[in-house]
Copies of this chain bind each other. A is one copy, B any other.
Amino acid sequence: MTQPRILAFDIFGTVVDWHGSIVQEVQALYPQVDANAFALAWRAGYQPAMQRVRSGELGWTRIDELHRLILDELLPRFGLAHLAEADRVHLNRVWHRLNAWPDVVAGLQRLKTRHTITSLSNGNIGLLTNMAKRAGLPWDCILSAEVFRAYKPDAATYLGVAQVFDVSPSEVMLCAAHHDDLAAARACGLQTAYIERPLEFGAQHIKDVSPQPGNDLHARDMGHLAELLGC
């Protein structure tokens, strides 16, 4: 295995705990709502919303706007149709306020001593920057679908990382908690590392994190990834 020069990280679920963070905020703001169901429903709207962009039905639209479209559809189903515009704006920005998994900051600090670490997320640049500033994520660079104007798993995103850093695809390693993301990166020639996040969908829906063939590395968390890469 050649050491990758660039480590590109998926964000939602891999680096930050979207489910736990949204549950926490919704419970605090709207205690009458089933926060677990609300978080799951919001996230479930994510792929279909991006598909409307990928298919060309919508022009280029950032995740902030897609999250808002989904939210507006969701609120009546959870008895929150009355929410004022300012409350909707605030709630939608919860995606900028997601908490990192506890192992992330220390793990990234170790990894960045020997690698260039960047996000590669479908989240927009402003969202990723606000999130990183709040959570202390020490990125060397913030790359987003917004830079490439294409959503993962479009090859333009994975190959775009290699082009930005003027390296071959095999010198980039995608680190993600999702096998479909990793498979698409692998098809572009990137190395891949799977990160276990059994609690991504909450304690009521434990995710299967068994190893699948094809990934170069399989790590329990970011500290373990640093260990596997000799950092």
Contact = CB atoms under 8 A, between A and B. Distances in A.
Contact of A147 (B129, B130, B132, B147): B147
Given A125-B164, A141-B125, A133 B116 contact: yes
Contact of A129 (B116, B124, B132, B146): B116
Interface residues of A, number: 20
Interface of A: 64, 116, 118, 124-126, 128-130, 132-133, 140-143, 146-147, 164-166
- The 7 A-B pairs with the shortest beta carbon distances in the complex, nearest first, are A129-B141, A126-B165, A125-B164, A126-B164, A133-B140, A141-B142, A129-B140
Nearest to A118: B129
A165 B64 contact: no
Contacts of A165: 126, 129
Given A126-B166, A164-B125, A164-B126, A140 B132 contact: yes
Nearest to A124: B164
Contacts of A146: 147, 164
Given A142-B141, A142-B142, A147 B125 contact: yes
B166 A64 contact: yes
A130 B20 CA distance: 34
Contacts of A128: 141
Nearest to A149: B149
- Which of A124, A125, A132, A143 has its CB near the most chain B CB atoms (within 10 A)? A125
A71 to B, nearest CB: 16
A112 to B, nearest CB: 8
A107 B105 CA distance: 24
A137 B164 CA distance: 19
Contacts of A143: 125
Contacts of A116: 129-130, 133
A162 to B, nearest CB: 10
